[in-house]
Amino acid sequence: MIEQDNSTGVDVPGGKRAIGSGLAHRFPGTPLLFTDLSFVLCPGETVALVGPSGSGKSTLLSILAGWVKPTAGEVRWEGVARTGWVFQNPHGVPRRTAIDHVALPLLGQHLTRVQADQQAETIMARFSLTEVSDRQFRDLSGGEAQRLMLARAVAANYDLLLVDEPTAQLDMATAATVNAVLANVGNSGSIVVVATHDPHTRDSCDRVINLADHQPASEKARLEIEAQP
């Protein structure tokens, strides 16, 4: 099966990009969450999306996924066919082993079990999961489970990976083990965005988009937005 890009149709040599320009969003009957937001996201870096609680981080991820249409501005995707998510609470199949979770997306890429297991082991090593690869998901610690979600996302080989609060459910020490491997997701060839309010997670990323810098400054901004067609 040949995958068709759902992008603008322009064949971009050299890779994939997600381009946000002039983005602003509000839900019906609520004030603007953010405004005047523009960025270019490329593979090879992990971008942190920060801002106070309720500032619209998760909402922006949904806009990037194409699930939510922004009130103003637009997102352009180039070479982005598949978008993946990692949520704050890791979920898996309780009685299946850790390595089975990482091998599954590889089996879905027409690999044999032996090939998939080999590749899964390589990926898991990058997320410090070698020790637990044969352990059942239900026996993993929170940090291990969250790292497994990241490893599985790498195996799934998304074009755009959206990670929402990966350490929100973890204590400091456990969160540190996740933050330590977060950069490895960015090296995987996907565009990676991590929404977080954990400063350590932010520090593990290569670049920061801070929604606090894009809060509507005045009523003027709101009126400008409303004047647009």
Ligand X SMILES: Nc1ncnc2c1ncn2[C@@H]1O[C@H](COP(=O)(O)OP(=O)(O)OP(=O)(O)O)[C@@H](O)[C@H]1O
- Is residue 5 close enough to count as binding another protein by CB under 8 A? yes
Give the span between the Cα atoms of 228 and 71, in whole angstroms: 10
Contact 87, 61 (CB under 8 A): no
- Is residue 174 close enough to count as binding Mg ion by CB under 5 A? no
From ligand X, Mg ion, another protein, none, interface partner of 84 (C-beta below 5 to 8 A by class): another protein
Residue 17 or 57: the one with the smaller Cβ distance to ligand X is: 57
Contact 211, 60 (CB under 8 A): yes
**Residue 219 has which token pair?**
């009523």
From ligand X, another protein, Mg ion, none, interface partner of 54 (C-beta below 5 to 8 A by class): ligand X
Minimum CB separation of residue 201 from ligand X in Å reads: 12
From Mg ion, another protein, ligand X, none, interface partner of 55 (C-beta below 5 to 8 A by class): ligand X
Q: Alpha-carbon dihedral of residues 122, 128, 132, 137, nearest 10 degrees?
A: -90
Contacts of 124 (CB under 8 A, 6+ apart): 98, 99, 102, 130, 133, 148, 151
Residues 82-111 that bind another protein (CB under 8 A): 82, 84-85, 87, 89, 91-97, 100, 104-105, 107-111
- Is residue 42 close enough to count as binding another protein by CB under 8 A? no
Question: Among candidates 134, 152, 45, 9, which has minimal Cα distance to 90?
Answer: 152
- Binding Mg ion (rule: CB under 5 A), the pick from 5, 39, 58, 111 is 58
Question: Among candidates 170, 84, 168, 98, which has minimal Cα distance to 127?
Answer: 98
Residue ranges that bind Mg ion, judged by CB under 5 A: 57-58
Residue ranges that bind another protein, judged by CB under 8 A: 1-5, 11-16, 67, 79, 81-82, 84-85, 87, 89, 91-97, 100, 104-105, 107-113, 116, 136, 152-153, 155-157
